[in-house]
Amino acid sequence: MSDMSHVKTLTDAPAQSDGPSPRTLKRAGIIAGVAAIAIVAAGIATRIGATGDLKEVAADAAVPSVSVVTPKAGGARDALVLPGNVQALNSAAIYARTNGYVSRWLADIGDRVHAGQPLAILDAPEVDQQLAQASADYQTALANQKLAATTAQRWSTMLAKDAVSRQEADEKTGDLAAKSALANAALANVRRLRAVLGFTRLYAPFDGVVTSRSAQIGQLVVSGNAAAQPLFTVSDVRRMRIYVRVPQGYSAQVHPGMEASLSLPEYPQRTFAATLTRSAGAVDAQSGAVLVELQAPNPDGALKPGAFAQVSFKVGAGGGNVLSVPGSTILYGNDGPTVAVVDGNGRVTVKPVTIASDEGKTVAISAGLAPGDRVVDSPPDAIHTGDHVRVQNAGKGAAHAG
């Protein structure tokens, strides 16, 4: 009986499960889906963040970085220093007036010559032959003229005796006039060729110095060739002309008769006195300056034609409003000198300026800048008004020390 109770007990026990219940599987699927969605969302968010960072980096890279300086007050200056070009008082390029070959040259560069002094001799055999032929033609014309004169005189005598008609006598008189005209034409041709033959000698037109010579022995010289170089150049260097372009802002302060001083690189410890002799009286549209001429004595020949000089005028500095900036801030273009100014928002404005004097490292500006402007140092050539830039030294102070 105990066995039967044991069997009953086993029969009455609950049945054991073969796997997880459907509720558990559903819960696990929901959790896996949520996890997958979270992973995808995290990836998308990371990618969006990386794209934003990339755009920000690209935007930063697109904005150039510049350094700026602030103009320094130039103070009241009493001298206007401008570049000048030194030229001889008179300079003549000597060309040949006839074709030929250089037979001799009698002066070289640096030689002092006098007016009428021969510089070179040309050999022109063609002109010699033409002159000989013209002389022979003239002699023939003279002989015909003499014969015509004798004939006309005889017919005039016979006309007085009624031996010939007046018509025949007039014909002989007309023939004499024609032969005389031919003789005069032949004489003119001879004189012309003699003058051309005289051009085979080249002479100095005035006292001066030979500053160039291209003549070489045996060189063929062709007159009237526009591309030909002058055989000689003679310059009168006893006095020199100096041409200077004065900015419009100073043109009212320079006038004929005022004194100026010159300085040249080859004479650092020496100055030369000059006097302003004339002014163009007009402002050049391209440079915005007035061309003036000065003259300076040159007794020792220290001033050379074509030289560069610094010309110092005793004038005020545009009312004392001169500002000094580094020379590296100036942009030179078709519209003249300009500078790039940056405002507080990093926006660029390109301003035209007027240069009072260029001292190399620094430039004095008489118009176009304000004392508080932030000027871009070493601006790129492609910079334009409206561009955005990042100022590198904004927090360090950008004052120009001068």
Query: Residue 401 pLDDT > 80, yes or no?
Result: no
The CATH number given to 81-87+237-317 is: 2.40.30.170
- Cross-strand bridge partners of residue 321: none
Q: What is the pLDDT of residues 110-147, one digit of tens each?
A: 999 999 999 999 998 888 898 999 999 999 999 999 99
Q: What is the pLDDT of residues 250-294, one digit of tens each?
A: 888 889 999 999 999 999 889 999 999 999 999 998 888 999 999
pLDDT band of residue 19 (cuts 50, 70, 90) is low
**Both tokens of residue 292?**
């003036």
Task: Give the C-alpha separation, 83 to 86, whole Å.
Answer: 10
Amino acid at 309: A
Task: Give the C-alpha separation, 235 to 211, whole Å.
Answer: 7
Domain range 65-77+320-391, CATH architecture: Beta Barrel (2.40)
One-letter-per-residue 3-state SS of 320-374:
HCCEEEEHHHCEEECCEEEEEEECCCCEEEEEECEEEEECCCEEEEEECCCCCCC
Q: Is 367:353 a contact under the CB 8 Å cutoff? A: yes
Single pTM value for the model: 0.54
pLDDT at 18: 56
Q: In terms of C-beta density within 10 A (0-12 exposed, 13-18 middle, 19 or more buried), how is residue 357 classed?
A: buried
Q: Which of 16-30, 123-137, 209-223, 233-247 has the lowest mean pLDDT?
A: 16-30
Could you tell me which of 306, 298, 173 has the C-alpha nearest to residue 239? 298
Q: What is the pLDDT of residues 173-200, one digit of tens each?
A: 898 899 999 999 999 999 998 888 888 8
| Cα dihedral sign, 13-18-22-26 | positive
Domain range 93-203, CATH architecture: Orthogonal Bundle (1.10)
pLDDT at 52: 61
Q: Where are the domains of the chain?
A: 65-77+320-391, 81-87+237-317, 93-203
pLDDT at 399: 45
Task: Give the C-alpha separation, 94 to 92, whole Å.
Answer: 6
pLDDT at 37: 81
Q: Is 71:324 a contact under the CB 8 Å cutoff? A: yes
Span 376-393, average pLDDT:
87
